[in-house]
Structure 1
Amino acid sequence: MINILTWNIQGAAGSTFRDHLRRFKADSKLSVIALMETWLSGDKADRIISRLGFQSLFRVEAQGFCGGISLLWNDDITVRVVSVSNQFIHTMIQGALLDEPCFFTMVYASPQAQHRRHLWDQLCDLNPGDERPWLIGGDFNALLHLGDHRGGQSGCNYVCRKFQDFVFSCAL
């Protein structure tokens, strides 16, 4: 078994974030951390992430102050990046602590419906089916049910239906 943390951090530049993450990493024996909405890119991201104590990193750059996905892991596992977009990182994870390799997809769907229009089809194409385990997580910025909504804009739109279709067709 490996421990994975996904965290929509909404800005990873602050020292409070780094302190909390270091403590949590030590207490939880994390092997993989997936950070969304880091709002970091380039050299600044490299400097901050290098201080978190992981040996390996793959990152989708933030676009200005929007988005950004960082996947960090320890050398006790092997992570192979299979597919990437500006809204997800799809990987295969292997290691001595796993009975078999598994797929892990980290998603940070754009909050703008027009930018995530094709995301659901792209994610369906990644589905390994019944042959291998698939862990998919993150911030989908969509609702399965209207009752899931708290705060922010009200109502459910077309994207919710597409999200529901995605969850159903992939048997999630």
Structure 2
Amino acid sequence: MNSLNNLVRNCRGAGNSAFKRNMRELISTHKTEILILMETKVPFSSMGNFFNNMGFIAVIIVDPIGRAGDIWLLWDTAHVSIRASNATNQVSQATIHKEDYEEWILSAVYASPHPSQRDELWNNLKEIARSIEKPRLVTGDFNDYINHNERRSFSPHYNHN
């Protein structure tokens, strides 16, 4: 049985030459079939050809709303098929099918930095969990931490409350 290779990155910006060079290398090295990018800070329309040239011709895009959202789910249709089932500004959910594999659910998360909106996300994820019977992977950037020592921000004036 072949493996299914996923790559999940919070890239904090995309589109520059360093991002493109690193992404090409990661995809080539890991033989990536599903790619999830968050916090790209560029419109997908400016990057579509770049990903198409690497075989990622199918996408689910969640544009940002304020500081939440911006989830790109891309896949190589020669190896995997994906059916979107739910997309909000904090989670993109899809059913994944690959030959010789059991279908499974992927929940790609880019959580809001605001605690009340993150609570809404957690409630949504729990509700979804109650309604599915397939295996599920929940992955992404949850913008959550146990204490303030874990928090790392490049903006000293940003308040997470």
Question: TM above 0.5, one fold?
Answer: yes
RMSD: 2.6
Equivalent residue number for residue 113 of structure 2:
111
Equivalent residue number for residue 96 of structure 1:
99
Does 1:53 pair with 2:55? Answer: yes
Equivalent residue number for residue 73 of structure 1:
75
Equivalent residue number for residue 82 of structure 1:
85
Distance 1:130 1:64, change over 3 A: closer
Deviations 1:133-158 (A, max 9, x none): 11111010112x439825449xxxxx
Contact 1:18 1:52 in 2 (8 A): no
Which of 22, 31, 34 is the aligned partner of 1:32? Answer: 34
What is the alpha-carbon distance in structure 1 between the residues aligned to residue 151 and residue 116 of structure 2? 22
Identity among equivalent pairs (%): 29
Equivalent residue number for residue 146 of structure 1:
147
Structure 1, unmatched stretches of 5+, are 154-158, 160-172
Which of 118, 133, 136 is the aligned partner of 1:134? Answer: 136
Equivalent residue number for residue 156 of structure 1:
none
Q: How many residues align?
A: 152
How far did 1:124 drift? 1.1
What is the alpha-carbon distance in structure 1 between the residues aligned to residue 105 and residue 100 of structure 2? 15
What is the alpha-carbon distance in structure 1 between the residues aligned to residue 56 and residue 80 of structure 2? 12
Could you tell me which amino acid in structure 2 is paired with residue 68 of structure 1?
D
What is the alpha-carbon distance in structure 1 between the residues aligned to residue 52 and residue 19 of structure 2? 14
Distance 1:90 1:19, change over 3 A: same
Distance 1:132 1:147, change over 3 A: farther
| 2:87 aligned counterpart, secondary structure | strand
Structure 2, unmatched stretches of 5+, are 156-160
